[in-house]
Structure 1
Amino acid sequence: MSTSPIAKKMKSTKVIGTHSGTFHCDEALAVFMLRLTDEFKDADLVRTRDPAKLEPLDIVVDVGGVYSPEKHRYDHHQRGFEEVFGNGGFDKIKLSSAGLVYKHFGKEIIAKRLGTNIDDEKVQTLWFTLYSEMIESVDGIDNGVNISSSPVAYAQRTDLSSRVKRLNPNWNEEATDAIYDEKFTHASKITGEEFLSQLDYFAFAWLPARDIVKEAMEKRFEVDPSGQIVVFDKSCPWKDHLFTLEPTVSPSSSSPILYVLYPESDAPGSKWRIQCVPESPDSFKNRKSLPEPWCGMRDDKLSEVSGIPGGTFVHASGFTGGNATFEGTKEMAKKALSF
Structure 2
Amino acid sequence: MSLATLNICTHSGTFHADESLAVFMLKLLKRFSNAKVTRSRKPEDWESADIVVDVSGKYDAKKFFDHHQREFTGTFNSEYKTKLSSAGLVFKHFGKEVIAKVLKFDVKEKATDIEFLYDRVYKDFIEAVDANDNGIDKYANQKELVPRFHDKNFSLAGVVSNLNPSWDTDPTDADFDRMFIKASQIMGEAFLEFLTYMGKSFLPAKQYVEKAYGERFDVDKSGKIIVMEQYVPWKEHVYNIEKANNAVGQILFVLFPDTTGSWRITAVPVSAASFDSRKKLPEQWRGLRDNALSEKTGIPNCVFIHAAGFTGGVKSKEGAIKLAKMSI
Unaligned runs of 5+ in 2: none
Indicate yes or no: 2:96 matched with 1:107. Answer: yes
Specify the code of the residue in structure 2 equivalent to 1:97: S
Separation of aligned partners in 1, 2:225 and 2:2:
65
The amino acid across from 1:155 in the alignment is H
Is contact 2:3–2:34 with CA below 8 Å preserved after alignment? Answer: no
Q: In the alignment, what sits opposite 1:298?
A: 289
What letter matches 2:171 in structure 1?
A
Matched with 1:76 is 67
Correspondence list, 1:100-179, <5 A: 100-119=89-108, 120=110, 121-148=112-139, 149=141, 150-151=144-145, 152-156=147-151, 157-179=153-175
| Secondary structure of 1:186's aligned partner | helix
| Count of residue pairs the alignment pairs up | 321
Counterpart of 2:258 in structure 1 is 264
Match of 1:20 among 12, 23, 29: 12
CA distance in 1, matches of 2:8, 2:251: 50
Higher helix share: 2
Q: Tell me which of 283, 287, 295 is aligned to 2:278.
A: 287
Task: Tell whether the 8 Å contact from 2:3 to 2:33 is kept in structure 1 after alignment.
Answer: no
Q: Which amino acid aligns with 1:245?
A: I
* Distance (Å, rounded) in 2 between the aligned partners of 1:43 and 1:83: 27
TM-superposed CA distance for 1:43, in Å, is: 1.0
CA distance in 2, matches of 1:289, 1:154: 29
TM-score (norm: length of structure 2): 0.93
Larger Rg: 1
Q: Indicate the SS of the match to 2:31.
A: coil
1:296 positional shift = 1.3
* Runs of 4+ that moved beyond 6 A: none
- Report sequence identity in percent: 45
Give the stretch that moved more between structures: 93-102 or 123-132.
123-132
Residue 211 of structure 1, CA deviation: 0.5
Which residue pairs with 2:29 in the alignment? 37
Give CA-to-partner distance per residue, 1:265-300, whole Å, 9 cap, x none: 3x8xx2100111111112111111111221111111
Structure 2 SS opposite 1:260? strand
Deviation at 1:217, TM superposition (A): 1.1
In structure 2, relative to structure 1, the CA distance for the partners of 1:318 and 1:21 (3 Å cut) is same
Q: C-alpha distance in 2, partners of 1:216/1:110?
A: 29
Q: Does 1:205 align with 2:201?
A: yes
- Measured against aligned partners, the alpha-carbon deviations of 1:23-68 in whole angstroms (never above 9, x if no partner) come to 0010000000000112211111111112232122111111111111
State the 1:12 CA deviation: 4.9
- Secondary structure of 2:154's match? coil
Letter aligned with residue 149 of structure 2: Y
Contact 2:230 2:256 in 1 (8 A): yes
Matched, 1:54 2:43: no
Q: Which structure 1 segments of 5+ residues have no match?
A: 1-8
* Aligned-partner residue type, residue 146 of structure 1: D
1:276 is aligned, of 256, 267, 279, to 267
